[in-house]
Chain A
Amino acid sequence: MMGGPWLFDIALGVLLVVLAIASIHARNLYAGVVMFISFGLVAALTWTYLGAPDLALAEAAISAGLTGVLLFAALARIGNTGSTPFTPRRLPALLCLAVAGLLMVTLWPLARNPSVLPGMAMANLPRTGVDNPVTGVLLNFRAWDTLLELAVLLVALLGSRGLRPTPEEEPVPWPLLTAWSRLLVPLLTLFGGYLLWRGGNWPGGAFQAGAMLAAGAVLLRLNGLLPEVAWRNPVVRGLTIAGLALFATIAALTAWLGDGWLNYPPGTDNALMMLIEIIATLSIATVLTLLVAGNKTELEP
């Protein structure tokens, strides 16, 4: 039973749990953020191991990249004040162990009953015109979820823009990083485009490509190579809203003229999904860039 594969499973599991606990309770907050970034990378490895390369791509770009930048920026603004290590108490720990046990008891039966959904999705996949089942589900079978997700992204952006801007001094970019990002960002952009284009047939798609592009833009922004991602720029505003607007328009048109809400007319599935994917990628990239590294002080007159 304890063969080679088990060793890898156990190593992954132990790493995940230890890094999770360390990232929350690290004495130094900076170390905690670094632990959290490593946690994201181990999670990406786990997704690959469990047969989800689409998720691994997104996790590596989002969790390890963008969330890391967000946490570091917040740490620079808030600082270590009030981050004293907690005094260990018995009650919360016991309570949470009980919750873990309860969760395990609930999840246990699920592992033994395979679901019928994968079979249905695979059987209907040829109708969508794409070969990657995840893309098919995201943009065809469950297109409604993706439409709402774009709305959530926009709401989060509007929410964070509605807050009072906090002045931020721009750190002096590190020369090595500046040189590296000049090399990295074209590659990231190319790779994002590749992910988008191949997303129909291979792991990849709008979300991974959008996250990749956003990571590139954030990298340039942090180095001061990208002048400004300004909200007052009409192109930026247009791009943030474009994905949702196009998706909603297509949904409304299919409802009025076609078979129903987001039921693409036969034969146009592939073209429509590609169009939505391209625009959604640009939209997701812009919104994520604005959320992570948008100009804060431009609201001042």
Chain B
Amino acid sequence: MTDTLLFYLLVASFLWAAGLHGLIVARHVLRRVIAVNIMTAGVFLALVTLAARAPEPDPVLHALVLTGLVISVSATALALHLGTAAFSTEKPEPTTR
């Protein structure tokens, strides 16, 4: 059982690092938002793996990840709106007032 957990922790570390790498090298706002989401997924995978240590899954960590999922989608929405606003200032459209 522990071997499986270690494997998933390894995957979680790789996901987080892959997200970080994307954040460093990617320039486009969409790629960066996806990269941050991949990093979040890595954190969630680590938490869910740690929740599976005991035969009875840890409800505290599950609740934490559930909260995190909802937070991450709202943060993504805000980030994308900000990104869109930043892009649309480059080619301004006429404002009515």
Interface residue ranges, A against B (CB under 8 Å)? 1, 5-6, 9-10, 13, 16-17, 20-21, 23-25, 29, 32-33, 36, 39, 43, 46-47, 50-52, 54-55, 58-59, 62-63, 66-67, 70-71, 73-75, 77-78, 82-84, 86, 89, 92-93, 95-97, 99-101, 103-104, 107-108, 110-112, 114-115, 117-118, 121-122, 133-134, 136-138, 141-142, 145-146, 149, 152-153, 156-157, 159-160, 163-164, 166-167, 205, 207, 210-211, 284, 287-288, 291-292, 300-301
Interface residue ranges, B against A (CB under 8 Å)? 2-22, 24-31, 33-35, 37-38, 41, 44-46, 48-54, 56-60, 62-67, 69-71, 73-78, 80-85, 87-88, 93, 96-97
A54-B66, A74-B83 in contact; A86/B26 too (CB < 8 A)?
yes
Instruction: Tell me if B34 and A63 are in contact (CB < 8 A).
Output: no
* CB pairs A–B below 8 angstroms (20 shown): A24-B21, A39-B41, A43-B41, A43-B45, A50-B49, A50-B52, A55-B62, A71-B30, A71-B33, A74-B29, A74-B83, A78-B87, A107-B50, A110-B50, A115-B53, A115-B58, A134-B62, A137-B63, A207-B67, A301-B97
Q: Give A167 to B56 CA distance when docked, in angstroms.
A: 50
Q: Give A216 to B21 CA distance when docked, in angstroms.
A: 35
Q: Give A55 to B50 CA distance when docked, in angstroms.
A: 14
Instruction: Tell me if A117 and B21 are in contact (CB < 8 A).
Output: no
CB distance from B10 to the nearest CB of A (A): 6
Note all chain B residues with C-beta closer than 8 A to A205: 66
Q: Give A207 to B64 CA distance when docked, in angstroms.
A: 12
Number of A-B pairs, beta carbon distance below 8 Å: 263
Note all chain B residues with C-beta closer than 8 A to A71: 30, 33-34, 80
Instruction: Tell me if A17 and B73 are in contact (CB < 8 A).
Output: no
Note all chain A residues with C-beta closer than 8 A to B12: 103, 107
Instruction: Tell me if B85 and A9 are in contact (CB < 8 A).
Output: no
- A contact patch SS: helix
CB distance from B5 to the nearest CB of A (A): 5
Instruction: Tell me if A92 and B85 are in contact (CB < 8 A).
Output: no
Instruction: Tell me if A32 and B30 are in contact (CB < 8 A).
Output: yes
